[in-house]
Chains A and B, each alone.
Chain A
Amino acid sequence: DSGVTQTPKHLITATGQRVTLRCSPRSGDLSVYWYQQSLDQGLQFLIQYYNGEERAKGNILERFSAQQFPDLHSELNLSSLELGDSALYFCASSVVGGNSPLHFGNGTRLTVT
Chain B
Amino acid sequence: KNEVEQSPQNLTAQEGEFITINCSYSVGISALHWLQQHPGGGIVSLFMLSSGKKKHGRLIATINIQEKHSSLHITASHPRDSAVYICAAKAQGGSEKLVFGKGTKLTVNP
Q: Taking beta carbons and an 8 Å cutoff, which residues of A are in contact with B? A: 2, 31, 33, 35, 42-45, 48, 55-56, 58, 88, 90, 92, 97-99, 101-104, 106-107, 109
Contact flags (1/0) for B60-98 with A, using CB distance below 8 Å? 000000000000000000000000001010100001111
CB <8 Å contact, B31 and A90: no
**CB within 8 A of B45: which of A48, A58, A103?**
A103
Please report B residues at the A interface, Cβ cutoff 8 Å.
30-31, 33, 35, 41-45, 48, 50, 86, 88, 90, 95-103
B43 pairs with A90, CB closer than 8 A: yes
Report which residue of B31, B44, B96, B97 has the largest number of chain A beta carbons within 10 angstroms of its beta carbon.
Answer: B96
A42 to B85, CA, bound (A): 12
- For the complex, give the distance between the alpha carbons of A92 and B95 in Å: 16
For A107, list chain B residues within 8 Å (CB). Answer: 41-43
- Asked whether, in the complex, the Cβ of B44 is within 8 Å of the Cβ of A104, the reply is yes
Let me know if B48 and A102 touch, CB within 8 A: yes
Out of B31, B43, B97, B102, which one reaches A42, CB within 8 Å?
B102
- Contact assessment for A2 and B97 in the assembled complex, using a CB-CB cutoff below 8 Å: no
How far in angstroms is the closest Cβ of chain B from A1? 10
Q: How far, in Å, is B43 (CB) from chain A's closest CB? A: 4
Knowing A42-B102, A101-B48 touch, does A88 contact B96 (C-beta < 8 A)? no
Q: Report chain A residues within 8 Å CB of B103.
A: 42
Knowing A99-B30, A99-B50, A102-B48, the reply to whether A45 touches B97 (Cβ < 8 A) is: yes
Determine whether the beta carbon of B100 is less than 8 Å from that of A43: yes
A33 touches B43 (CB 8 A): no
CB distance from A105 to the nearest CB of B (A): 8
**Separation in Å of the A60 CB from the closest CB of chain B?**
11
Chain B residues with CB below 8 A from A103, complex form: 45
Q: Which of A42, A55, A88 is in CB contact (< 8 Å) with B41?
A: A88
- Picked from A42, A44, A55, A109, the residue with its CB within 8 Å of the CB of B96 is A55
Instruction: Report the bound CA distance from A95 to B44 in whole Å.
Output: 16
Contact of B42 among A35, A42, A48, A106 (CB under 8 A): A106
**Closest 8 pairs (CB-CB, A-B):** A56-B96, A43-B100, A104-B43, A99-B31, A48-B96, A106-B42, A45-B97, A102-B45
